[in-house]
Amino acid sequence: MQKYRLKKIIVTLFISIMFSNFLNVNFNVRAEITPPTGIILFIGDGMGFQHIELARLVEYGPNGESAILSFPYQNDIATVNIDGMTTDSAASGTAISTGVKTRNGRIAMNYNGKIELTTILEIAQDNGYATGIVATCHLTHATPAVFMAHNPSRNNYLEIAEDIFNTGLDVLLGGGSSASYLGNYISAMEINGYNYITNKTELNCSDTEPLLGLFSSSSLTPVHLKNQTNSEPSLLTMTQKAIELLNNTGKPFFLMVEGSQIDWGSHDNDPIYTALETIEFEKSVNYAKDLAENDSNLLLLVTADHETGGLTVEEYDFLTPLPLDTDNFETKKNKRLDRVGEITTSWSTGGHTSKNVILTGMGPNSERILNATHHINTFSIMRELIDGETDPFETNTTKGHVNLFVIIFLGILGVSAVIGGLSAWKHTKKSI
Ligand SMILES: [Zn+2]
């Protein structure tokens, strides 16, 4: 009798697994999705809440408002990697770009570096989107790389460059023209139709895509070290051009904009470097916010991959005036430097911290920000808008663990085989 009951359980379990898979397939057939105008994802590398506050105080004063803090939906989210430890830009970027937590150093690959994880940019491409990346570091650096490449190590710049070449984006703006980064692929990309440019004058004149703009052999000059004659475009100028060209394609688009060097200023515990990079980032967010206010079909998300430096704004006493839009380059820069000097800051580390970071934004699906708890939810918000799904693209690779139902099923099969074998053995023994 017991044997029959066991058989019945196994058969029922098998049928229910098959049926649930069948249901899954059916659920995947969804109503046609109306594509958005575009998705613009801003990532301030290393930008904690206090970084935003530092920039706000310098640029707008104690009563002024930062565009980053002015969106209808805002949340603070965790950044920890798959081991629950402080993340680097590769692991946190991968969580944002693929919805999967991984180990530090991985570029859109799972924890053991064996499985390539499909990125939101690749999903967007597969759904007919135009795509772009803008950053102030070299484009083979971790944060831009996690959207365009797959590699077990963030340091394999040449392999990452090859992936970037093969991904075939519509707009690529940043640094990295040396042979150590993207340099070996520039002529091949030109043969493939890219318009290749190297300075802000050429950028201003560019009106066709695909566009490859590499404005420095490595990363771009930090904002606080620039002068008026610098030939590199600002993050704001690159953001404006990228949106313009992606819009011109007539397709929905995905664009990631990174304020790459907020992190580097914070590693240096340098309030001037940090503040001026964050201000530049905020100006770019503010530009996109204006667009989103006039286009309810444009999703805008602003986040940070992690906090760097354990920054705290301790106190301030302002005696110098606010920078004005009408100020020339040098005046504006000097006013900002003066005001940073009137703020007392403290730092707890020269590295990254596990402090929560901001997730904010506006536009279609942005209300889901309120339920977000980790970077992986940022991926879900974007993916849902593209193809109606919220899970990572790969099934059963989420944490590299085997599906629980499969384990139970195989376990029961194993136990029943043992019982069956034992009873057959007893039976044989009896007959002898
Ligand atoms: Zn860092």
pLDDT tens-digit map of 48-80: 999 999 999 999 999 999 999 999 999 999 999
Q: Check residue 405 and give its pLDDT.
A: 52
Alpha-carbon Rg for the chain in angstroms: 25
Token pair 């999967």 in the structure block, residue = 100
Tell how far the Cα of 263 is from the centroid of ligand 1, in angstroms: 5
Note the pLDDT of residue 33. 82
Domain that residue 422 falls in: 406-432
Is the pLDDT confidence value at 28 over 90?
no
d(CA 139, CA 163) in angstroms, rounded, equals 11
Phi, psi values for residue 109, rounded to 5°: -135, 160
pLDDT bin (cut points 50, 70, 90) of residue 383 is: very high
Could you tell me the distance, in angstroms and rounded to a whole number, from the CA of residue 220 to the centre of ligand 1?
A: 16
Q: Is residue 28 part of a domain?
A: no
161 burial (CB, 10 Å; 0-12 / 13-18 / 19+) is: buried
The confidence band for 394, taking pLDDT boundaries of 50, 70 and 90, is confident
Q: Do 73 and 210 fall into the same domain? A: yes
**Cα-based distances in Å from 234 to 106, 239, 247, 259:** 29, 9, 20, 11
**Is the confidence at residue 106, as pLDDT, over 90?**
yes
| 420 shares its domain with 301 | no
One domain for residues 350 and 426: no
pLDDT of residue 351 exceeding 70: yes
Least confident span in 28-42, 94-108, 194-208, 395-409: 395-409
- Cα of first residue to Cα of last residue in the chain, in angstroms, is 24
CA of 87 to the centre of ligand 1 (A): 9
Does 188 share its domain with 109?
yes
Is 174 found in the same domain as 229? yes
Confidence bin at 422 (pLDDT 50/70/90): low
Residues 250 and 364 in one domain: yes
Its sign, for the CA torsion 53, 57, 59, 63, is: positive
Q: Do 240 and 269 lie in a common domain? A: yes
- Give the SS3 label for residue 56: helix
Task: List, for residues 201-253, the tens digit of each pLDDT value.
Answer: 999 999 999 999 999 999 999 999 999 899 999 999 999 999 999 999 999 99
Total-model pTM: 0.85
395 occurs within a structural domain: no
Residues 412 and 280 in one domain: no
Q: What value does the mean pLDDT of the chain take?
A: 90
Q: Structure tokens of 158?
A: 């040449």
Q: Quick one: how far is CA 103 from the chain centroid?
A: 15
Number of domains in the chain: 2
Ligand 1 geometric centre to CA of 2 (Å):
61
Q: Between residues 175 and 419, which one has the greater pLDDT? A: 175
CATH of the domain at 359: 3.40.720.10
Mean pLDDT of 139-147: 98
In a domain, 191, yes or no: yes
Whether 1 has a pLDDT exceeding 50, the answer reads: no
Q: What mean pLDDT is predicted for residues 119-145? A: 98
Average pLDDT over residues 256-270: 98
> Which token pair is 29?
């057939």
Cα-to-centroid distance, 138 and ligand 1 (Å): 14
Q: How large is the greatest C-alpha to C-alpha distance in the chain, in angstroms?
A: 104
CA of 88 to the centre of ligand 1 (A): 6
CA 346 vs CA 214, 272, 313: distances in Å: 35, 13, 7
- pLDDT reading at 406 higher than 60: no
In a domain, 96, yes or no: yes
**247 and 329: one domain?**
yes
> How many residues are present in the chain?
432
Q: Do 425 and 285 belong to one domain?
A: no
Q: Residue 74: what are its φ and ψ, rounded to 5°?
A: -145, 140
What is the C-alpha separation between 284 and 336, in angstroms, rounded? 17
The answer to whether position 145 is within a domain reads yes
Position 396 in a domain: no
User: Per residue in 122-134, pLDDT tens?
Assistant: 999 999 999 999 9
* CA pseudo-torsion sign 161, 166, 261, 333: positive
How far apart are alpha carbons 335 and 321 in whole angstroms? 7
| Cα-to-centroid distance, 89 and ligand 1 (Å) | 7
Residue 9's pLDDT is what?
57
**Could you give the angle at which helices 329-340 and 49-60 cross, rounded to 10 degrees?**
120
What are the catalytic residues? 89
> For residue 358, how far is its CA from the centre of ligand 1 (angstroms)?
17
- Residue 432 domain-assigned (yes or no): yes
> What are phi and psi for residue 298, nearest 5 degrees?
-105, 120
Could you tell me if 411 and 357 lie in one domain? no
* Token pair belonging to 16: 């229910």
**Same domain flag for 339 and 218:** yes
